[in-house]
Structure 1
Amino acid sequence: MKQTTFRVDYPADLRHPMHARIMETTDVSRAELLMWGPTAEVTTLCWYDGPKSDVRTILDAVEPVTTSLVTSVEGTYAFVEQRAFEFDDSVMAVVADASVVFLPPVVFEASGTVEFEAVGDASGLSRLYDDLRALGDVTIAQVSAFDRVRSNARLTSRQRAALEAAHSVGYYEVPRTGSVEDIADELDCAHSTAGELLRRAEAAALVPYAR
């Protein structure tokens, strides 16, 4: 059983409307679909790298039934009920036909890239790769043996980049010589995105040692 990180760039006509709006909104560089419900009326929990005002603008691109927004020091969480996921039918068909399990989060970047992880056997993952290639540009960022414990070998590419940037700017020096702002500059992203990436990377790396 393998766990694979896919990075996909869909053409403009296949992008989710929320993702397209993120690409147009300069103050939000990243969104993460954290959890979703398997019901006909879709319920999702997302995190956005930006304030409530920007997230409301982004969500205007979809058709929510209800929306609840909660701000934190790291961005904005949105609990949204919809009648449909609003992905293009061809994208949903690939997801529905896939013989793999998709792991949260699904990451939408302002660059236009969607990053997600899938777990399955070699044939299922290979078939998913081929189906995605028929829709857009696909890169496999990482492949590893599946392990229910997330270790530092299973960091996403962005989380690994955040740790490398933190090390390079002196964030882990004693005394500390670098800041989260410096990490954000290295990653060319917002301060809140850098903080969130670093927090998740540190949590993933420390889990094996906490057991």
Structure 2
Amino acid sequence: MKYVSLSLTMDADHRHPMHQFVVEHDGYEASYLVRGNEVGADVQTLLFHVDGYPPDPYRAALERAESVVEYAISTCPDETFFLYVRDRPSETDRDLVDSLLQVGLVLVSPVAYRADGTVELTLVGPGGTVQRALDALPDEVTADVREVGAYASRRLDTAATLTDRQFAAVSAAVECGYYDDPRQGTTEAVAARLDCTPSTAAEHLRKAEARVMARLVDTDTRQP
């Protein structure tokens, strides 16, 4: 069984208005689709984790979006929020879902709608189905294959707990020896790789570590 990680691009006219909001507004890194019911139906029910703040401008954009039927927002202490939304998919949305799922591939959560306008996702299934899915993509969607390999759910799920920026910070920290024993790297070295301030790098690392540790505790099946 194989997995393929794709980065999809489309122009603003075919992008969902809430994804376009993330693209156009500072402070919103990405929105992550973590669950979906009736995807591709006339009205689909979706749960997103939005890495952005504050939520009020996002809420105002939801009110303006004609495709949104109903929504609810729940804020998190780390300046992110969850979004429950019932939404009418566009024709491009329908064609995209059909092209990816009709050939027998499984979509692995989360799907990342990033601030650079790309949509990053991972599909799992027999290797021969991947090319058929790519061939069936709508003309207005361009796909770049980022990674292909044997499916390893623990590795993919662990990475999925972090935002893109947090994952980049952890990767930079590992590369510069920040987690070595004894420690070789510093937050200044991580910051240099990320092109940010040391305090920002430290904050990314702190949030990443908190998310990974919380996920580890939640998924540990050992009895106390």
TM-score by length of 2: 0.71
CA shift in 2, pair 1:152/1:93, >3 Å: closer
Matched, 1:66 2:70: yes
Q: Is the 8 A contact 1:18 1:62 kept in 2?
A: no
Counterpart of 1:186 in structure 2: which amino acid?
L
Give the Cα–Cα distance (whole angstroms) in 2 for the partners of residues 57 and 170 of structure 1. Answer: 44
| Structure 2 counterpart of 1:130, from 118, 132, 135 | 135
Give the Cα–Cα distance (whole angstroms) in 2 for the partners of residues 61 and 72 of structure 1. Answer: 23
Counterpart of 2:76 in structure 1: which amino acid?
S
Matches within 5 A, 1:35-54: 35-38=35-38, 40=41, 41-50=43-52, 51-54=54-57
- List gaps (5 residues or longer) in structure 2: none
The residue that corresponds to 2:174 in the other structure is 167
Give RMSD over aligned pairs: 4.0
Matched, 1:198 2:202: no
- List gaps (5 residues or longer) in structure 1: none
Matches within 5 A, 1:49-128: 49-50=51-52, 51-59=54-62, 60-74=64-78, 75-82=80-87, 84-86=88-90, 88=92, 89-128=94-133
Deviations 1:170-198 (A, max 9, x none): 7536679428x949x8177xx6x946983
Work out which of the two has the higher radius of gyration on C-alpha atoms and give 1 or 2.
Answer: 2
Question: How many residues are treated as equivalent by the alignment?
Answer: 204
> Could you say which structure has the greater relative contact order, defined with CA pairs below 8 angstroms and 6 or more residues apart?
1
CA shift in 2, pair 1:152/1:56, >3 Å: closer
Give the Cα–Cα distance (whole angstroms) in 2 for the partners of residues 165 and 62 of structure 1. Answer: 41
Query: In the TM superposition, what is the alpha-carbon distance from 1:162 to its structure 2 partner?
Result: 3.4
Give the Cα–Cα distance (whole angstroms) in 2 for the partners of residues 19 and 5 of structure 1. Answer: 19
Give the Cα–Cα distance (whole angstroms) in 2 for the partners of residues 95 and 152 of structure 1. Answer: 19
- In structure 2, the residue corresponding to 1:132 is in which secondary structure? coil
Give the Cα–Cα distance (whole angstroms) in 1 for the partners of residues 138 and 67 of structure 2. Answer: 28
CA shift in 2, pair 1:143/1:92, >3 Å: closer
Query: In the TM superposition, what is the alpha-carbon distance from 1:105 to its structure 2 partner?
Result: 0.7
The residue that corresponds to 1:178 in the other structure is 187
- In structure 2, the residue corresponding to 1:129 is in which secondary structure? helix
Q: Is the 8 A contact 2:95 2:137 kept in 1?
A: no
Q: Is the 8 A contact 1:7 1:114 kept in 2?
A: yes
